[in-house]
């Protein structure tokens, strides 16, 4: 939507956050207040300022609202914090789903992209319940431009209308579509990465394993890019206790997500829900995993990176010290977000280089 069609309060929030994000760090520190230190790390001033502003402006959070309003709120936040760097072409497409449904998608192609290019199949965050193509738009644009690849963002079905395994089924259908229609998409089927953020990182991690072992896929993923992924819904790791509230994603919100995603709580022990619990991770594609220092999901993401490395999967892990969950979507207001995405794009560029 054009900026001037957004509600005035959202436009004001967006402008204020951009102004605050552009201030020198010493000024941000004064505005942020006393430093927040937990577990041997300090919250970044730009993040602390944003959290302080969000607290002042806070009404009901999304899990306290009717579902449609909660989804609208998350979409509005994505626009407030994100940015829309220009990309040479953005095309809306539909992908055949496994059960005859059509899955919406969005393809980003940066300028100068040759035919037979690499592609990232990307899944947005939102706890399998919220979010959509617009929520991932800013990250997809930065990754496409800086990695020099195409990006397909997948609008998988959401719970509770479509609980597990609908999102996984849609992810597999999207990946198979990219492999089968590589010529029409002008991409190289041997250079397909999977990636995502939060719940989307969970979907990407599960997809990476399923597509690697499934002979019907046609070509396994070449790389996986996981931003702050959910890897274990079967238990709460120590970072849940450390960052239970006050750092954007909360312990209570994760409970709310889980209750809506899973039809049966026992499904949390399934590796297609909790990839950390898979018995064997060997043979998976190389991985670049990003975690945030002040995130309830931090420890399970880092445990997954260790398990991949122990299984001799080439794995690089980057912790964004002083940052919160979802930071990579805040490209319009956060230098840390932009830097993290540019660094991840470099990993993609190397991981998907022609062999």
pLDDT of residue 12: 82
Cα 234 from Cα 238, distance rounded (Å): 13
Distances (CA, A) of 116 to 189, 190, 285, 296, 350: 8, 10, 20, 39, 16
What's the mean pLDDT in 135-155?
97
Triad 206, 207, 211: Cα angle to 5°? 125
What's the mean pLDDT in 190-200?
98
Q: Environment class of residue 318 by beta-carbon count within 10 Å: exposed (0-12), middle (13-18) or buried (19+)?
A: middle
Active site residue 234: no
Cα 122 from Cα 128, distance rounded (Å): 14
pLDDT-derived band at 336, boundaries 50, 70, 90: very high
Share of the chain above pLDDT 70, in %: 98
52 and 89 assigned to the same domain: no
Active-site residue (options: 155, 170, 295, 299): 295
Active-site residue (options: 198, 239, 274, 334): 198
135 and 250 assigned to the same domain: yes
Instruction: Say which DSSP state 244 is in.
Output: S
Distances (CA, A) of 48 to 21, 40, 168, 224: 11, 16, 35, 30
pLDDT, averaged across the chain: 93
What's the mean pLDDT in 25-49?
93
pLDDT-derived band at 8, boundaries 50, 70, 90: confident
60 and 101 assigned to the same domain: no
**With 70 as the cut, is the pLDDT of residue 5 above it?**
no
Q: Which of 43, 78, 113 is the last residue of a domain?
A: 78
Q: Which of 54, 78, 102 is the last residue of a domain?
A: 78
pLDDT of residue 63: 84
Place of tokens 């940052």: 323
pLDDT of residue 1: 45
Based on the structure, what is the number of domains in the chain? 2
What's the mean pLDDT in 314-343?
96
194 and 128 assigned to the same domain: yes
pLDDT of residue 32: 87
What's the mean pLDDT in 189-212?
97
**With 50 as the cut, is the pLDDT of residue 259 above it?**
yes
What's the mean pLDDT in 177-183?
94
Segment among 47-61, 300-314, 322-336, 337-351 with least mean pLDDT = 47-61
66 and 152 assigned to the same domain: no
- The CATH number given to whatever domain includes residue 201 is 3.40.50.1820
pLDDT of residue 4: 58
Cα 125 from Cα 279, distance rounded (Å): 26
Q: Which of 20, 55, 78 is the last residue of a domain?
A: 78
Residue 19 belongs to domain spanning: 3-78
pLDDT-derived band at 287, boundaries 50, 70, 90: very high
pLDDT-derived band at 13, boundaries 50, 70, 90: confident
Active site residue 89: no
What's the mean pLDDT in 322-327?
96
37 and 92 assigned to the same domain: no
139 and 210 assigned to the same domain: yes
pLDDT of residue 58: 60
Highest mean pLDDT among 72-81, 92-101, 112-121: 112-121
49 and 96 assigned to the same domain: no
pLDDT of residue 191: 97
pLDDT of residue 53: 82
66 and 93 assigned to the same domain: no
128 and 71 assigned to the same domain: no
182 and 197 assigned to the same domain: yes
Active site residue 295: yes
What's the mean pLDDT in 223-252?
97
241 and 331 assigned to the same domain: yes
> What tokens were used for 230?
């959910």
| pLDDT tens digits, one per residue of 88-111 | 999 999 999 977 889 999 999 999
> What tokens were used for 231?
């890897």
């Amino acid at each position: 939507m054009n900026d001037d069609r957004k509600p005035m309060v959202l436009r004001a929030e967006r402008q204020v956050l951009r102004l605050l994000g552009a201030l020198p760090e010493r000024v941000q520190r004064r505005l942020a207040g006393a430093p927040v230190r937990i577990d041997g790390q300090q919250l970044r001033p730009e993040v602390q300022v944003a959290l302080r502003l969000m607290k002042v402006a806070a009404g009901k959070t999304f899990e306290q609202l009717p579902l449609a309003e909660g989804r609208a709120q998350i979409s509005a936040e994505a626009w407030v914090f994100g940015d829309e760097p220009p990309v040479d072409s953005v095309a809306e497409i539909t992908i055949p789903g496994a059960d005859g449904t059509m899955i919406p998608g969005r393809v980003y192609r940066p300028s100068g992209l040759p035919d037979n290019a690499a592609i990232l199949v990307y899944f947005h965050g939102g706890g399998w319940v919220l979010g959509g193509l617009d929520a991932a738009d800013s990250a997809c644009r930065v990754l496409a431009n800086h990695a020099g690849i195409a990006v397909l963002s997948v609008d998988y079905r959401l719970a509770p209308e479509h609980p597990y395994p609908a999102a996984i089924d849609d992810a597999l259908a999207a990946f198979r579509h990219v492999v089968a229609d590589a010529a029409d998409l002008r991409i190289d089927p041997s250079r397909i990465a999977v990636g995502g953020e939060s719940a989307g990182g969970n979907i990407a991690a599960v997809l990476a394993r399923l597509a690697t072992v499934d002979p019907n896929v046609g070509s396994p993923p070449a790389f996986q890019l996981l931003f702050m992924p959910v890897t274990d819904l079967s238990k709460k790791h120590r970072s849940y206790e450390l960052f239970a509230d006050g750092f954007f994603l909360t312990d209570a919100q994760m409970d709310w997500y889980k209750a809506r995603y899973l039809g049966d709580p026992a499904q949390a022990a399934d590796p297609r829900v909790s990839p950390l619990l898979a018995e064997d991770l060997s043979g998976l594609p190389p991985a670049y995993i990003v975690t945030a220092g002040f995130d309830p999901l931090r420890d399970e993401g880092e445990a997954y990176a260790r398990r991949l490395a122990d299984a001799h999967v080439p794995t690089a892990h980057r912790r964004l010290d002083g940052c919160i969950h979802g930071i990579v979507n805040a490209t319009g207001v956060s230098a840390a977000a932009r830097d993290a995405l540019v660094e991840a794009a470099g990993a993609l560029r190397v991981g998907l280089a022609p062999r």
